[in-house]
């Protein structure tokens, strides 16, 4: 939105005319906002206060994020353009317009990545004795070792493909490392195609440490690509290699499953997964010294144009560097370790602890182990009759799944709602679903057309003459590894009303029947959307009556247009609105007369901000909720999500002070969004405040 548009909107407000809140200039494009978030992650790698190996890790995370952006978002836009779609979002940008803007931003993004790697990170790593040796830097002993590595580890499993009518271009896996080779001369059969393709084996590491006795520095590494480059002529005896260049293609990773036509979702997904590796190409990456002739050959083969081409100054796929922090024993170049705390109210017997009062956990500052122990104790307790749990992302090896298997094998009623369609975790989820079924658990895959994204565990335990429900509700996945790097809330409770609500939600997921009204929880796709609108409208009405009104929301994304319009109306009525939105934000704050009471910030730090927390002043009788859902159309209307109240006064104050207000005070890792859609990083003018660092000091050992 430009200055003239802002003045026009302001003029309409001053004239007391009805403002059309559907006008496209009031909205930021979803995809461009997501790309802006990935850039904020990249800039973390430039932070002078960040340990060096963590800077490298953030560079790799930014690369991973961008890969997924192309695999999912760019691929979807390309499909829309191919089908002739001109349908636009609230911002009124057509798919083709969005693609053109993405191309400009993404090319700048990738150039910035490699400039950072070459000009800052590689030199800084070398100063610390961590070196990446190029071919012309190998001494005689190193060259011999590399030669032996090629002969013994690489050559036996390579299958170079000479391109001719009998040897068509091989299928290239999504994001795999490949080489296009130009040749001169004729082979044993008199062929002279002039071109070949070599695919790097997926079984070998991309980063190879040199033996310490051959290294001049504490840590020396060679890229697998350098080894292949050095001895590529050995793959084509009697011929001359005139050029050898890396390339990588990114493919559409969407899995198409027609849920109306299939009768077994697991089998259908199993059939689709192999095809993901060979979806339509959406991006080609080559080194910047690759000749135009080869580039044009590759573009033509993959059906791409120059807009889809990314020429890089370094190794294609910076994720090859991701293993480095684990290969180098340099704690001084990494974040300081910490030990998450445990709430003082916890006893060895978790059920006894929960009966004494709700337990609120704030990960990763507080340990995830009580959640694991909750299921483990339930599995081993003879008084426990049933365990029900939702699983979205757990990882291939999960201690929680192991506990569920133990419970099922011991004869307990175990019901697990496994979301098979969790993107990029489908294969792992299919595997764990099969394991659970083999152990005797009841496994269902949720509701057709609605992903099950809710995070719920319910344990039914016999206590005397009654059955007691114990519940865990969370904002994040049941994944013990990500629980160490994502910020999330979890609630352990035996509240009767919450237990009944969770029971009803599980019944919806496993059985058939109409939705019933819940007492405490808000639920997508039924009551959460309307519940949020009602609460925003309630604050709006309070402001109109001259009463204090305040909304704070900490979420990962804000895209739902009706929610945005409700927030605009609330701002126009005088409601103070503070939004902490980590990633996508389609709302424009600071528009005179419309959103000048709305402030938006994004926190990007050591941990991935993942909590979804909502606060409504409610005329002094404040309401606080935690949820599995963001304020996106898909979360509110197309998924099964849970949103639970924090009613214990101590816990409520903790969430407000530590989970919301502290983040609003952050002046070191906060980015402020303006009405033009630009983010500016805050610079501490007084005492520096980092929410994550403060919580580490408060809650960890």
Q: Which residues participate in catalysis according to the annotation?
A: 453
Rounded Cα distance between 219 and 137, Å, is 15
- Which of 430, 345, 388 has its CA nearest to residue 651? 345
Rounded Cα distance between 532 and 547, Å, is 20
Other beta carbons within 10 Å of 383: 13
Query: Do 436 and 405 touch, CB atoms closer than 8 A?
Result: yes
Rounded Cα distance between 246 and 310, Å, is 12
- Which of 560, 656, 572, 653 has its CA nearest to residue 613? 656
Rounded Cα distance between 271 and 433, Å, is 16
Question: Hey, what are 688's tokens?
Answer: 């520096």
Q: Which DSSP symbol is given to 238?
A: T
Rounded Cα distance between 258 and 218, Å, is 55
Rounded Cα distance between 523 and 119, Å, is 50
Rounded Cα distance between 119 and 134, Å, is 16
Query: Do 509 and 622 touch, CB atoms closer than 8 A?
Result: no
Rounded Cα distance between 181 and 241, Å, is 7
User: In angstroms, what CA-CA distances link 377 with 352, 491, 696?
Assistant: 12, 17, 28
Q: Which DSSP symbol is given to 587?
A: B
Strands in 364-506 per DSSP E: 384-391, 413-418, 442-444, 451-452, 456-463, 466-474, 486-493
Rounded Cα distance between 587 and 552, Å, is 15
Strands in 295-358 per DSSP E: 309-312
Rounded Cα distance between 445 and 433, Å, is 9
User: In angstroms, what CA-CA distances link 420 with 381, 425, 437, 452?
Assistant: 29, 8, 14, 9
- Residue for token pair 């309307």: 530
Q: Which residues pair with 467 in a beta bridge?
A: 462
Phi, psi of 360 (to 5 degrees): -105, 125
- Which of 626, 639, 612, 348 has its CA nearest to residue 498? 626
Query: Do 627 and 641 touch, CB atoms closer than 8 A?
Result: yes
User: Three-state DSSP class for 275?
Assistant: helix
Q: Which DSSP symbol is given to 260?
A: T
Question: Hey, what are 184's tokens?
Answer: 């001169």
Query: Do 308 and 299 touch, CB atoms closer than 8 A?
Result: yes
Rounded Cα distance between 435 and 394, Å, is 14
3-state helix/strand/coil string of 424-440: CCHHHHHHHHHHHHHCC
Rounded Cα distance between 695 and 701, Å, is 11
- Residue for token pair 């979804």: 612
Q: Which residues pair with 440 in a beta bridge?
A: none
- Which of 639, 525, 540 has its CA nearest to residue 598? 540
């Amino acid at each position: 939105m430009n200055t003239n548009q802002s003045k026009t909107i302001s003029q309409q407000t001053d004239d007391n005319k009805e403002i059309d809140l559907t006008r496209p200039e009031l909205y930021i494009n979803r995809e461009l906002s997501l790309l802006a978030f990935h850039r904020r992650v990249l800039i973390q790698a430039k932070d002078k206060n960040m340990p060096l190996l963590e800077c490298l890790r953030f560079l790799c995370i930014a690369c991973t994020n961008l890969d997924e952006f192309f695999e999912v978002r760019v691929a979807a836009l390309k499909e829309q353009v191919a089908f002739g779609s001109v349908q636009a979002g609230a911002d009124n940008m057509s798919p083709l317009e969005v693609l053109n803007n993405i191309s400009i931003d993404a090319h700048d993004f990738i150039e910035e990545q490699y400039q950072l790697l070459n000009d800052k990170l590689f030199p800084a790593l070398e100063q610390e004795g961590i070196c990446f040796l190029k071919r012309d830097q190998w001494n005689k002993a190193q060259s011999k070792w590399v030669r032996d590595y090629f002969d013994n580890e690489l050559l036996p499993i390579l299958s170079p493909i000479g391109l001719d009518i009998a040897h068509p271009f091989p299928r290239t896996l999504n994001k795999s490392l490949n080489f296009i080779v130009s040749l001169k001369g004729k082979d044993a059969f008199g062929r002279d195609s002039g071109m070949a393709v070599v695919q790097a084996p997926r079984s070998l590491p991309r980063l190879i440490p040199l033996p310490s006795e051959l290294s001049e520095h504490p840590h020396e590494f060679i890229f697998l690509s350098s080894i292949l480059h050095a001895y590529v002529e050995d793959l084509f005896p009697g011929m001359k290699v005139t050029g050898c260049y890396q390339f990588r293609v990114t493919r559409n990773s969407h899995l198409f499953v027609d849920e109306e036509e299939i009768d077994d979702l697991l089998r259908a997904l199993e059939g689709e997964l192999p095809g993901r590796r060979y979806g339509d190409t959406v991006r080609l990456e080559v080194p910047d010294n690759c000749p135009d002739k080869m580039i044009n050959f590759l573009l033509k083969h993959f059906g791409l144009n120059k807009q889809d081409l990314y020429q890089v100054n370094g190794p294609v796929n910076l994720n090859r560097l991701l293993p480095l922090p684990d290969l180098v024993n340099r704690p001084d170049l990494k974040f300081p370790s910490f030990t998450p705390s445990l709430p003082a109210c916890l006893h060895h017997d978790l059920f006894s602890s929960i009966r004494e009062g709700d337990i609120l956990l704030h990960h990763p500052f507080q340990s995830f182990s009580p959640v694991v122990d909750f299921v483990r104790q339930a599995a081993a307790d003879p008084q426990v009759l049933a365990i029900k749990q939702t699983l979205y992302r757990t990882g291939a090896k999960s201690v929680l799944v192991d506990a569920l298997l133990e419970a099922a094998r011991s004869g307990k009623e175990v019901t697990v709602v496994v979301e098979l369609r969790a993107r990029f975790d489908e294969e792992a989820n299919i595997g764990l679903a099969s394991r659970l079924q083999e152990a005797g658990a009841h496994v269902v895959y949720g509701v057709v057309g609605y992903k099950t994204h809710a995070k719920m565990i319910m344990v039914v335990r016999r206590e005397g003459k009654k059955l007691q429900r114990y519940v865990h509700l969370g904002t994040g996945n049941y994944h013990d590894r990500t629980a160490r790097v994502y910020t999330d809330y979890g609630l352990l409770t035996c509240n009767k009303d919450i237990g009944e609500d969770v029971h009803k939600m599980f019944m919806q997921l496993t059985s058939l029947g109409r939705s019933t009204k819940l007492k405490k929880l808000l639920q997508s796709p039924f009551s959460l959307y309307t519940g949020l609108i009602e609460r925003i409208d309630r604050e709006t009405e309070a402001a109109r009556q001259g009463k204090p009104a305040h909304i704070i929301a900490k979420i990962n994304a804000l895209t739902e247009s009706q929610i945005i319009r409700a927030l605009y109306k609330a701002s126009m009525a005088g409601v103070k609105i503070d939004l902490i939105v980590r990633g996508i934000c389609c709302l424009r704050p600071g528009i005179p007369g419309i959103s000048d009471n709305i402030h938006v910030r994004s926190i990007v730090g050591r941990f991935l901000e993942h909590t979804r927390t909502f606060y409504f002043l409610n005329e002094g009788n404040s309401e606080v909720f935690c949820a599995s859902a963001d304020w996106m159309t898909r979360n509110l209307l197309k998924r099964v999500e849970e949103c639970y109240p924090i009613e214990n006064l101590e816990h409520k104050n903790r969430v407000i002070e530590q989970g919301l207000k502290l983040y609003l005070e952050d002046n070191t890792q906060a980015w402020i969004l303006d009405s033009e859609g630009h983010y500016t990083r805050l610079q501490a003018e007084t005492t520096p405040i980092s929410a994550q660092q403060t919580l580490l000091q408060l809650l960890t050992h």
